[in-house]
């Protein structure tokens, strides 16, 4: 079976500095796959390249069997690859509901859009309670919920989440991870970048460990979570 996302020998550079050094990985439909590693490992750079925000200097990216090499970022979204970025990047002066509607800017099915807005409110009830409130007045965790809901509004075949728990309180982090678990139960395909390696491995099927732009370990998440090297380097054990 062809993977939904196939990355082969991907290389990305900032000037003369190679940030991603020939990595290869795949994501099958219905899987949650996580990329874990320290700051500077190349995780965010990888996601930004997959979504078309950065151009690789080498390698191949295939999504649903199609090369993304010459496809601009807005067309990549239309193919079904959505990105909830690190730092959230919501529109602070716009209402919560208008932020969600922006996630559906490529769609014309009004009934489907309304259904998916309600789905976002079902996933994140606090957003529904405050739907007319300016997004910039939300807490960091609530803004993360909004960023995830906005990404889901494009009806993605694959949802990329970049550091969804960064800077959040433990309680809010638990809520975000519970939502990822709910999406997992619904069969949503997710590529998860997360510094909290413990949570990332708990909620994913498979994982890849990045160090300074290279994949150094890979395998089922449960196996990685029990590996002494991963425990010592990333799980604080």
Residue-wise pLDDT tens digits, 163-210: 988 888 888 889 889 999 999 999 999 999 988 899 999 999 999 999
- The DSSP element (H or E) to which 190 belongs, if any, is strand 190-193
What global pTM score does this model have?
0.92
Confidence at 10, pLDDT banded by 50, 70, 90: very high
- pLDDT tens profile 130-141: 999 999 999 988
Average pLDDT score over residue span 91-120: 94
SS (H, E, C) the chain: CCCCEEEEEEEEEECCEEEEEEEEEEECCCCEEEEECCCCCCHHHHHHHHCCCCCCCEEEEEECCEECCCCCHHHHHHHCEEEECCCCCCCCCCEHHHHHHHCCCCCCCHHHHHHHHHHHHHHCHHHHHCCCCEHHHCCHHHHHHHHHHHHHCCCCCEEEEECCCCCCCHHHHHHHHHHHHHHHHCCCCEEEECCCHHHHHHCCCEEEEEECCEEEEEEEHHHHHCCHHHHHHHCCC
* Domain assignments of the chain as residue spans, ordered by start: 5-234
**CATH (residue range 5-234):** 3.40.50.300
């Amino acid at each position: 079976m062809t993977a939904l996302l196939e990355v082969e020998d991907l290389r990305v550079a900032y000037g003369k500095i190679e940030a991603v050094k020939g990595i290869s990985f795949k994501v099958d439909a219905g899987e949650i796959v996580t990329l874990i590693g320290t700051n500077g490992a190349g995780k965010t750079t990888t996601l930004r390249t997959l979504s078309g925000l950065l151009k690789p200097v080498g390698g191949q990216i295939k999504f649903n069997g199609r090369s993304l090499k010459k496809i601009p970022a807005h067309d990549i979204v239309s193919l079904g690859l959505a990105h909830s970025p690190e730092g959230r990047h919501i529109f602070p002066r716009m209402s919560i509901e208008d932020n969600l509607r922006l996630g559906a800017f490529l769609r014309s099915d009004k009934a489907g859009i309304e259904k998916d807005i309600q789905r976002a409110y079902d996933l994140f009830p606090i957003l529904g309670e405050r739907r007319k409130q300016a997004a910039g007045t939300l807490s960091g965790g609530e803004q993360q919920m909004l960023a995830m809901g906005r990404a889901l509004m494009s009806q993605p075949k694959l949802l990329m989440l970049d550091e969804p728990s960064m800077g959040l309180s433990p309680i809010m982090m638990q809520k975000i991870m519970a939502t990822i678990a709910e999406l997992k139960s619904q069969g949503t395909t997710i590529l998860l970048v997360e510094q909290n390696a413990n949570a990332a491995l708990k909620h994913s099927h498979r994982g890849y460990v990045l160090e300074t732009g290279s994949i150094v370990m890979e395998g089922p998440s449960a196996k990685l979570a029990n590996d002494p090297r991963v425990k010592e380097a990333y799980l604080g054990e």
